[in-house]
Structure 1
Amino acid sequence: MRVRMILTVVLAAALLFGLGAVAGRTGGTPAAVWKESAETARPAAKLPAAIAAYQERLRKVPGDWTTWAALGSAYLDQARVGADPSYYPKAEGALQQSLQVRPGNPGALAGLGALANARHDFAGARTYAQQALAADPYSDTAYGVLADAETQLGHPAEATDAVQHMLDLRPGLASYTRASYDLEQHGRRTEAIALMRQALAAATEPADIAFCHQHLAALAWAAGDLATAAGEVGLGLAADDTVAGLWQLRSRLDAADGRLDAALADLDKVVSRTPTVDALIEQARMLTAAGRDPGPALRLAEAAHQLFVANGGTDDLGGSALALASGKVEDAVRLAEQEWGRRQFAEVADAVAWSLNAAGRPAEALPFIQRAEALGQLDPMVAYHHGMIALATGDRVTAKLQLQLALSLNPHFSPIDAPAAQRTLTTLEP
């Protein structure tokens, strides 16, 4: 019975990923970055006890390289759930100690790859993942690290191939969620939802269940299906109301309903739990929409950015967003272009395009916004950017089509930009 179930799952995944089904395999995502791990790892409530147990074990057996690797991964989980990059050096120290005790062990190498991904060193993450796979070709964890890195580097065929290996080795929560995201990137929303529902069926921990509902809600939100998004958010919060991403989505739903005070209250929960640059910039924009001062949120975002960098992270994309929000347009262009030099991912292309347009260089922006759409993902914010860039170049036909697309995907995609899209569209009507 067990073998039969596994075969059924593998065949279902093969229908989506096998036989060259994804464009990336034959050569031929707001734009969502997989900012969280595509697997939820240890529940947050269990992390302190796990870390303490590993530390106690290492006091007794300091040469236990597997526990050193496990401790490093637990520190990385702690950094993720609390958006606290001060755990990155601790994770690195433990993982390096594991390698010192047992050189070349795949667990530590995969852990260092995951750490590199968290720090946005995606080229370094790819190298670590490849080293881990050389030591253990059957490591689904290493393939997950590789998939995340190749995605962010802008290598869709390689990312899909890594996800397929993951599915082949271990169909389950981690592989289904990554596969869903890969499909989403290629504009295959229906199939992405189907695989995320398989991930939900495989989830057992409350945090994992909430994680799956969060991404189902995000898929619905991007398509303007607000009722489904609200339902998924409710189910996710019922499973685990500490997941910040669910409150962030609820904030957007509240804003879509015109309840900006409720939206800001939801965002307060987000930034109190995970004070990331992205969340704080979103809070600043919501404050602006509500007619309130965004300055404090932007200053906290700058502090969060500095903390990330101080602990080994590289985030010129976040730096560019901060510069643009603060009116430092040329800095925004420079930082976005620096990030593009490291990785040709869709969200980076969008950031380069939008900052160039803000700097009055829409003709230079146009190729980048087209790169942001190249894989086929339909994102209302990217469509809005394309429309405004096209208008700035004098192409009113494309501007009208792209703004109509943005509003047809989700007429409430942003409390600031959706009304701007609607106002601009009225000026383009004959």
Structure 2
Amino acid sequence: MRLRTILTVTLAAALLFGLGAVAGRPTAVSTSFTAAPPEAKLPATIAAYQQRLREVPGDWTTWAALGSAYLEQARAAADPSYYPKAEGALRKSLQVRAGNALALAGLGALANARHDFAGARSLAQQALSADAFSDTAYGVLADAETQLGHPAEATDAVQHMLDLKPGLASYTRASYDLEQHGRRTDAAELMRRALAAATEPADIAFCHQHLAALAWAAGDVATAAREVSLGLAADDGVVGLWQLKARVDAASGDLDRALADLDKVVARAPTVDALVEQARMLTAAGRDPAPALKLAEAAHQLFVANGGTDDLGASALAMAAGRPAEAVAMAEREWDRRQFAEVADAVAWSRNAAGRPAEALPFIQRAEALGRLDPTIAYHHGMIALGTGDRVTAKLQLQLALSLNPHFSPIDAPAALRALSSLEP
């Protein structure tokens, strides 16, 4: 079965094979490499693995499973201090049984979580050399190739994963791959089929979250709101749903409720991304964003201290704090490591903010190269074009941004409207 026929063949197979446990999230990078236990059961699962290893210290599969559980705990708690624990367990598995695919795939997933995408690709390839039928290794490879800016290789890895094990983890990656190529309708159809087969509350909530994000990107606020409500009804502990709810509430003009939603997000998952979004929402509401930015700095330092590299997050922080020159340096350093659309957009937008719109133009074009329809990128392109004096392109791109989603940002959408008004005769 090929990815291009996913909606006619692979999805039918899904009804036969069923869904696996959640092994990915609707984000650019997945951190789990095997079917992880439900979040509420993670502490008990970790304790059981630890007890097993005290009794049978040479059980290399349990060492690998323990590493996977630590990695899932890091994701669930947004706590990178679990990364060294995960690495220790996975490397112990390799010590006991050299070259085993489970541990290599796990280390690859850990490398993805730490944003070492080149390292993750190498480890996934090693895992596949040891076990050519490892769907989890193909998942790690797909995530790494996506972030490295290798779309054909990412699609190929996703296809192998689908062929080996149709399930929620592979559907998630396939849906994301379709979205990256501008095939949003197909991406949503895939997740609706996955939802139809989901049974666990966390899986159901996850599918609704992904569908809500797709609807939001398309400017369908009503559908996004409905999917968020359905997801929260299934599992109200999923922070991504609260983050999307904040955007929906902001679109309705209720910034107080949006900020309350984001308070729930950062209380449970104080990531750089969530805290920067909170800072921008505070700015839109006329409040001081400094406390949120201070916490975001601390979150970034914690990530780095535990082996992570996130110059993209550092660039976003610098932009939010009004330091465009620093933002440019961080975004360009990230670009040297990976040529992904999101990074190209960060380089372009920071260069524009630093007063260098002509140098920003090639990068915003790189961000659009695959055909993904994104209102923020369209807005950035419009403002960059305006900065270069290209009023025709500026008008077209700003119109595109607002047609895709007139509520895409409580700060940038009004700015797009003002800029567009200035271009009217």
Pairwise same-fold verdict (TM > 0.5): yes
Query: How well do the aligned residues superpose, as a CA RMSD in angstroms?
Result: 1.8
The structural deviation recorded for 1:47 is 0.5
Q: Deviations along 1:174-218, whole A, 9 cap, x unmatched?
A: 111110000000000111011111222332221111111101000
Give the number of aligned pairs: 409
| Structure 1 pair 39–239 and aligned structure 2 pair: CA distance change class (3 A) | farther
The reply on whether 1:226 has 2:221 as its aligned counterpart is yes
What is the alpha-carbon distance in structure 2 between the residues aligned to residue 227 and residue 252 of structure 1? 12
What is the alpha-carbon distance in structure 2 between the residues aligned to residue 35 and residue 412 of structure 1? 28
Superposed counterparts of 1:87-126, under 5 Å: 87-126=82-121
What is the alpha-carbon distance in structure 1 between the residues aligned to residue 310 and residue 70 of structure 2? 21
Q: Which residue of 2 aligns with 1:363?
A: 358
Q: Which residue of 1 aligns with 2:44?
A: 49
| Mapped contact 1:83–1:275 kept (Cα < 8 A) | yes
| Mapped contact 2:262–2:278 kept (Cα < 8 A) | yes
The reply on whether 1:339 has 2:334 as its aligned counterpart is yes
Could you tell me which amino acid in structure 1 is paired with residue 140 of structure 2?
V
Superposed counterparts of 1:2-401, under 5 Å: 12=7, 33-34=28-29, 41-401=36-396
| Mapped contact 2:80–2:306 kept (Cα < 8 A) | yes
Q: Deviations along 1:237-268, whole A, 9 cap, x unmatched?
A: 01110000000000000000000000000000
Could you tell me which amino acid in structure 1 is paired with residue 135 of structure 2?
D
What is the alpha-carbon distance in structure 2 between the residues aligned to residue 280 and residue 172 of structure 1? 32
SS in 1 for 2:99: coil
| Mapped contact 2:347–2:360 kept (Cα < 8 A) | yes
Q: Deviations along 1:363-407, whole A, 9 cap, x unmatched?
A: 010000000000000000000000000000000000000000000
Could you tell me which amino acid in structure 1 is paired with residue 229 of structure 2?
G
The structural deviation recorded for 1:38 is 9.6
The structural deviation recorded for 1:66 is 0.2
What is the alpha-carbon distance in structure 1 between the residues aligned to residue 277 and residue 416 of structure 2? 18
| Mapped contact 1:38–1:174 kept (Cα < 8 A) | no
| Mapped contact 2:215–2:224 kept (Cα < 8 A) | yes
Q: Deviations along 1:40-98, whole A, 9 cap, x unmatched?
A: 83321010111000000001000000000000000000000111000000000000000
What is the alpha-carbon distance in structure 2 between the residues aligned to residue 131 and residue 104 of structure 1? 8
| Structure 1 pair 32–104 and aligned structure 2 pair: CA distance change class (3 A) | closer
SS in 2 for 1:374: coil
Q: TM-score under structure 2 normalisation? A: 0.94
Give unpaired runs (5+ residues) of structure 1. Answer: 1-5, 17-30
| Mapped contact 2:32–2:68 kept (Cα < 8 A) | no
Of 198-207 and 104-113, deviating more is 198-207
What is the alpha-carbon distance in structure 2 between the residues aligned to residue 37 and residue 48 of structure 1? 16
Q: Which residue of 2 aligns with 1:23?
A: none
Q: Which residue of 1 aligns with 2:404?
A: 409
What is the alpha-carbon distance in structure 2 between the residues aligned to residue 205 and residue 32 of structure 1? 20
Could you tell me which amino acid in structure 2 is paired with residue 404 of structure 1?
Q
Could you tell me which amino acid in structure 2 is paired with residue 80 of structure 1?
R
The structural deviation recorded for 1:330 is 1.1
What is the alpha-carbon distance in structure 1 between the residues aligned to residue 107 and residue 134 of structure 2? 14
The structural deviation recorded for 1:324 is 1.1
| Structure 1 pair 14–156 and aligned structure 2 pair: CA distance change class (3 A) | farther
What is the alpha-carbon distance in structure 2 between the residues aligned to residue 398 and residue 15 of structure 1? 40
The structural deviation recorded for 1:13 is 5.8
Of 72-81 and 169-178, deviating more is 169-178
The structural deviation recorded for 1:36 is 6.3
The reply on whether 1:421 has 2:416 as its aligned counterpart is yes
What is the alpha-carbon distance in structure 1 between the residues aligned to residue 222 and residue 35 of structure 2? 25
Give unpaired runs (5+ residues) of structure 2. Answer: 12-25
What is the alpha-carbon distance in structure 2 between the residues aligned to residue 33 and residue 43 of structure 1? 21
What is the alpha-carbon distance in structure 2 between the residues aligned to residue 264 and residue 147 of structure 1? 34
Could you tell me which amino acid in structure 2 is paired with residue 125 of structure 1?
A
What is the alpha-carbon distance in structure 2 between the residues aligned to residue 11 and residue 222 of structure 1? 22
Could you tell me which amino acid in structure 1 is paired with residue 406 of structure 2?
P
| Mapped contact 2:7–2:189 kept (Cα < 8 A) | no
| Mapped contact 1:407–1:421 kept (Cα < 8 A) | yes
What is the alpha-carbon distance in structure 2 between the residues aligned to residue 40 and residue 257 of structure 1? 38
What is the alpha-carbon distance in structure 2 between the residues aligned to residue 195 and residue 116 of structure 1? 28
What is the alpha-carbon distance in structure 2 between the residues aligned to residue 78 and residue 137 of structure 1? 28
What is the alpha-carbon distance in structure 2 between the residues aligned to residue 84 and residue 32 of structure 1? 17
